[in-house]
Structure 1
Amino acid sequence: MTTERSDLTDRVIPQMTLGDGSPGSLTAPPPPLPRDTPPAARAQERFRVKGNAIVTGGAGDLGFAVCRALLEHGLEGLMILDMNPDEAEKKIKMLQSEFPATIQFQKVDVTDEDAVNEAVESTSKSLGPVTTLLNFAGMVACGHALDWSSKDWNRVMNVNTIGAFLVARAVARTMIDHGSGGSIVFVASVSAHGVNFPQPQASYNVSKAGVKAMVKSLAAEWAVHGIRVNSISPGYMDTILNEGDGLDEARKVWLSRHPMGRMGQPDELSGVVVMLASRAGSYFTGADLLVDGGQSLLL
């Protein structure tokens, strides 16, 4: 993949193949919704989530909220990839009591390339073709840039950016093999759009800005295969990540600079995720959608 400086003049660079939108191709528009069905049925079909999904970080507050939303909108099979089996087991039991879908879990470190590939392959075998990926696995990190070691920096990048890519690539390969296309949704952050205050978190911001940029490149490359790639950028959300007495002062600052004066609730991410995973989002690709209550307006 890399080229030595002495060989630059002899290299032949690969080129993207773009879709043409022709009838029957994977970039063609979806067929019209039937006009002879009731309006409510057409509306339901527009936001129906078909097939099977992988959700990384699905045992966390945000990941769990979107898992439930996908199931509410018709998802048939769900695989949660997470590092917390105890929490995942509890969450899966809750979902299984509500929904008839097949719901499974695998403990997977998204930075382990072989483990990711094996998990995605086994998911395809147990559930069938994967049509949706939600990349919610991630980690937070705060600290003064002058104090960060390369090891600390790389750990954040490996989870938030490289790990997200490894999962997306593995899923994209299966989508291409099955000829099904699908939707891949990354989680960037409001932190990819500006500098947070008052906490210093350069490594986290860079990792999420990398996700935001990566989405555009993958969307361009994979569109011909019928794969739509987008990201959402949540603002501060009311989860365990933003709890604790040690964050009291920071929370006061965040809310004082927020147009709505509050953090978001996990379920407030659900609408945009369902849209991106359904035919309602069929012409969205390469987009980053801010879900921040206006926070980015005052960063």
Structure 2
Amino acid sequence: MKDQAQMLRDMAKSIRPFDFQVISITSGKGGVGKTSFTVNLAYHLQKLGKTVLILDADLALANVDIILGERPKYNLLHLLSGEKNINEIIWESKYGIKFIPASSGFEELANLSKEKQIQILNALQEIYYSFDIMLIDTSAGISENVINFCLASDKTLVITTPDPTALADSYAISRIILTNKPEHLEAGLIVNFVNDEQEAEKIHRGMNNILREFTGKTMKYYGSLRKDKKLSDSVKDRYILSAKYPKSPYSLDVEHIARYIVEGKVLKKKENFWNRFLRNLKNLKVE
């Protein structure tokens, strides 16, 4: 795996300009909101003036098109078969977000050979100069395809939730990434479906304590995504939450992460009076 990942990293490094960023978004298990986050992040990055391309690398269970409410004519299967070139399979959504669709239900896409992975990278040489950022929405789990995408990226963001099984699986993939981490890679953690920032920060500290013990390395904290009923509605009804409800808790949280990626600094989330009062009520101890 190391030799193959190094080959992919060297190739990616040689084909992209200095200011072109590749960000992989991954998770140890499914159902943690990875694709919803990817699509909403793309929307906010565009709002911040960046040209963004999403590569749907959940190759055999594609769902970026579903979240965006689109039905692309072509996908990666057409590229790999030689029927279409990379420009012909890029699809632009009604939000202006461009993405490279994968395909659902095709076993040959689930575990791509080294040659097929390199074929995709070679194709990306033709279009990288048209974008500032490429977001790679990987499949869940620790397959070789997933790890190779993560290690070749400039940044890899692991999405988890407070659920014990999600935490265990996110630890597993984080440990693999950090064990094989190349010097250029920044690895970060995002905690989804939390009540508040304090819950997410506690999870991040706990995860890092274990990772530091076994790898000597840690994950950077990229932020939290609060529980938001509108998110499940947006998935069900196929629209981008951040576009329809830009002031919803989830939208504001994704915007903070997008600004961190673009501006390189964490913006402290604002608490209103009620948030502060309830937090103090929970934590304050008067003797």
Structure with larger Rg: 1
**TM-score, normalised with respect to structure 2:** 0.45
**TM-score, normalised with respect to structure 1:** 0.44
Which structure exhibits the higher relative contact order, with contacts defined as CA atoms closer than 8 Å and separated by 6 or more residues? Answer: 2
